[in-house]
Chain A
Amino acid sequence: MSMPKFLLRRTLQGIFVIWGVVTVLFVLRAVSPGDPATLMLGEGANQELIQQVRAEEGLNDPIFVQYADYITDLVTGDLGYSWRSNREVEAMVIERIPATLELSIAATIVAISIAVPMGVISATRREQLSDYGATLFSLLGISTPNFWLGLMLILVLGVWVGIFPTGRRAVGFGEALMTLVGTGSPGELLTWLEYIALPALTLGTYFTALITRLTRSGMIDELGKPYVKATQAKGLPLVLTRYKHVLRNTMIPIITVLGLQMGTLMGGAVITETVFNWPGLGQRFVDALGIRDWPLMQGIILFVAISFVVINIVVDALYTYLDPQVSVE
C-alpha cells in the first residue's frame, strides 16, 4: 500500500474512533444522575428558569434529536459553554494546553535520557551489579503510584534538601523564552526549569522504568542475532555495533509502545498536576469532574482522544522510515 493510501485509511479509522469516543461521552452524560439545567444554574434556582434553560438547551427533545444536535455542534467545531463558568469550552481547553504539553514533553525527555543508557548498560552487562540495580529501579518505578512519588520528592528534595521550589508554577515556557529572546536574560528560563524538574521527574518515572525494561530485553534479543556476529567478524568496533545498529533496531518497537502509552501519560498528568498544583488540562479535568461540568470534561477528553489518534498515525508512518523492512501494510 502506498503512503497516501495508508494515511487516508488511518485517518478514516481515526475519525471512527473519535466518533466512538464522543458517542460514549454522550451516553455517559445522558445516564449520569443530575439535571443539566440545575447543574448549570446551581442548586436552588427557580423552577421557571430551569424550565426555560431546559427548553433553550433542547433538553426536552427526544434523545436522538439531542444526539444529532450534539454531533452537529461538534462537527462544526462548537464545543459549547462550561456549565459553571459560562465561558467557551474551546478557550478553557486551549489556555491549559501549554502547561500540560510542557510537562509531558519534559517527562518524556527525562524518561528517554535516563532509560535508554540504563537499558543499554543493563543489557551489555547482564547479571552484574549495574544490571541488578537497573532491574530493581524499574521494578520500583512501575510499582510506585505517581502521586505518592510526587509528594515524597516534594518532601525530600523540596522541603528537606531544599533545592527545588515547592509552590505553584511561576512562569510558562513561552514567556520565559520570550524574556530570553527579548532581554537576553536566562533568569526566567532557569526559574521555569526549577519548577518543572520535580513534576517532570514524577510523571517521567513510570516511563523511565518501562523504557529501561523494554530497552534491556530488546537489546538482549537483538545482540543474539547473527548480524551482530557478522559485524564483529568484519572488524567493526563493538561500540559502533552496539550503538549504531543494535540500539537502532531496539528503538523501533519502543516508539510504538510509547505511542500507545499516551493514555497513561495523560492519566499520569491528571495526577501529577493535582499533586503539584500545575495549571494544565489534568487539573482542569479534575475540577470539572468535581462539579460535573460535562461540556468542559467532554472538551478535554476530545482533545486528548484526537491527540492520541494523531500521534499513533504519526508513529506508524515513522515506522517505515526507521525500519525499511516494514511496509505500511
Chain B
Amino acid sequence: MISDRVKSNLQYAFWESFLPKLGMILLVTIVLMAVFAPLIATHDPTRTGHFNEDGAQYPPLGFEYTSEIATGGEIVEITVESTNEHILGTNKIGQDVFSRFVYGARVSLLVGIFGVVLALIIGVPFGLIAGYYGGHIDDGLMRMADIMLAFPSLVLALALIGVFGQQPIRVPDPIVKAGLAEGMPETIPIPGAVIIVVALVTWVWFARVARGEALSLRNAEYVKAARSFGTSNRTILFKHVLPNSLTPIIVLATIQIAVIILTEASLAYLGFSGTTLSWGFEIKQGQSVLRTRPWVAMVPGIGIVLSVISVNLLGDWFRDALDPNIEGGERGG
C-alpha cells in the first residue's frame, strides 16, 4: 500500500521541521479531549442555571465585569467576580463554558472524520471507474463536477439541510454508561444529517483526484501486464490502481477534514446543525453578549482555530513530504 520510500519521506519531514510536530501534539490533545470529555468536563455541559447570587453569569477565572441589575425598582451596577467552580465562566443561560468547550470537540471531530470517510466511500470508486473506463461515465462525472463547482458549497449544504432536516442521532456515551462519570449527559448527539450533507458537497473533489490517478495509471506497464494475464477489471481497479492512487487521496482527505470542521461550525453558527453542543452554536450564543461578556464567543472560537490549524499542519506535512499536485477544494466558512 504505502511504499518504504513514502514512509521514509514522511519520517524525514516530520523530524526535520517543527510544524508537523506542533500539529500532531495539538491534534492528539484535541482527540483525547473529545474522547474523554465526560472525565475532563467539570459540569454537565447541558445543565443551565449556573449563576451567582445576583443572577449574573460568571466571568472566567481572574476576570471581573460590571453588570446592571434591577433591585427594588432601581437599577444598580454590581461587580461580578469569577469563581473556581467555573474556570472559563458561564454563558447566557448559565451553562459552564469550559465543559461546553470540551464537549464541542466531539461534534467537530465526529463530523470532520465521518464526513470525510463518507465522501471517500462515494467519491473514490466513482472517480476510479470514470478514469479507468473513460468514455461516457467519465464525461458524466466531469460534467457533474462542473455543476457541483458552480454551487457555493456552504450554500448547497444549507439547501440540503433543508431537505434532510437536522435531527441528531443519539448514541449512549460509553464512559458515562460504564459509571465513570457521574452526572454527565448519557448520550452523544451525532449530527447525522450534517455528516451526510458535508459528504455530499465534498465527494466530488475525491472523485476528481481519483479519476486523475486512474487515468494516468490505466496504461501503466503493470496494469497492461495484469490485463494480459486475464485479470478482471475489478481486480485491476481495486488491487492495482487504488493502492497506487492513495497518496494524493490521503493528502486531500486531511485537508478536507479541516474544511469540513469549518463547514460544520458555519452551519451551527447559522443555526442549522441540529445540535447545540457545537462550538459554532456556542459562538452564536455569545454574539448577543459580545460587548459585555466576550468570553462566551471567544472560547469556542479558539477551539475551532486550534483544531483546524492542527489538521492543516498535518496536511501540509503530508503534501510536502509526498508532493502530489492536487487542487485544494473549497472551504466552507
Contacts and interface: CB of A to CB of B under 8 A. Distances in A.
Q: State the main secondary structure of chain A at its contact with B.
A: helix
Contacts of A159: 290-291
Interface stretch (A42-50, A57-65, A301-309): A301-309
B298 to A, nearest CB: 7
Q: Which one of A262, A297, A301, A304 has the highest number of Cβ atoms from chain B below 10 Å of its Cβ?
A: A301
B75 interface: no
Interface string A18-45: 1011001100100111000000000000
Interface stretch (A72-80, A142-150, A225-233): A142-150
Q: Is the interface of B mostly helix, strand, loop or mixed?
A: helix
A146 B266 contact: yes
Q: How large is the interface on B (under 10, 10 to 19, 20 to 34, 35 or more residues)?
A: 35 or more
B154 A155 contact: no
Contacts of A301: 151, 155, 159
Contacts of B313: 139
Nearest to B310: A143
A266 interface: yes
B126 interface: no
A264 interface: yes
Nearest to A20: B147
Interface stretch (A107-115, A178-186, A244-252, A268-276): A268-276
Interface stretch (A189-197, A285-293, A317-325): A285-293
A51 interface: no
Given A16-B143, A267-B330, A139 B312 contact: yes
Interface string A135-174: 0000110111111100110110001000000000000000
Contacts of B159: 25, 28, 289, 297, 301
Contacts of B207: none
A26 B287 CA distance: 35
B290 A271 contact: no
Given A140-B309, A151-B283, A308-B149, A145 B301 contact: yes
A20 B152 contact: no
A155 B155 contact: no
Contact of A143 (B150, B154, B283, B312): B312
A263 interface: yes
Contact of B155 (A18, A152, A267): A267
Contacts of B294: 155
A206 to B, nearest CB: 7
Interface string B237-266: 000000000000000000000100010011
A143 B308 contact: yes
B162 interface: yes
A145 B154 CA distance: 13
Contacts of A33: 163, 165
B118 to A, nearest CB: 19
Interface of B: 143-144, 146-147, 149-155, 158-160, 162-163, 165, 258, 262, 265-266, 269-272, 280, 283, 286-287, 290-291, 294, 297-298, 301, 304-305, 308-309, 312-313, 327, 330-333
Given A18-B150, A285-B158, 15 more contacts: A28-B159, A28-B162, A140-B305, A145-B266, A148-B283, A155-B294, A155-B298, A263-B149, A267-B153, A270-B154, A270-B270, A289-B162, A292-B162, A297-B159, A304-B150
Interface of A: 13, 16-18, 20-21, 24-25, 28, 31-33, 139-140, 142-148, 151-152, 154-155, 159, 206, 260-264, 266-268, 270-271, 274-275, 285-286, 289-290, 292, 297, 301, 304-305, 308-309
26 contacts: A17-B147, A20-B143, A20-B144, A20-B150, A28-B163, A31-B163, A33-B165, A145-B262, A145-B265, A145-B308, A146-B266, A148-B265, A155-B291, A159-B290, A263-B150, A263-B153, A267-B331, A268-B154, A270-B158, A271-B333, A274-B269, A274-B270, A286-B270, A289-B158, A305-B151, A308-B149
4 tightest A-B CB contacts, nearest first: A267-B154, A20-B147, A148-B301, A263-B152
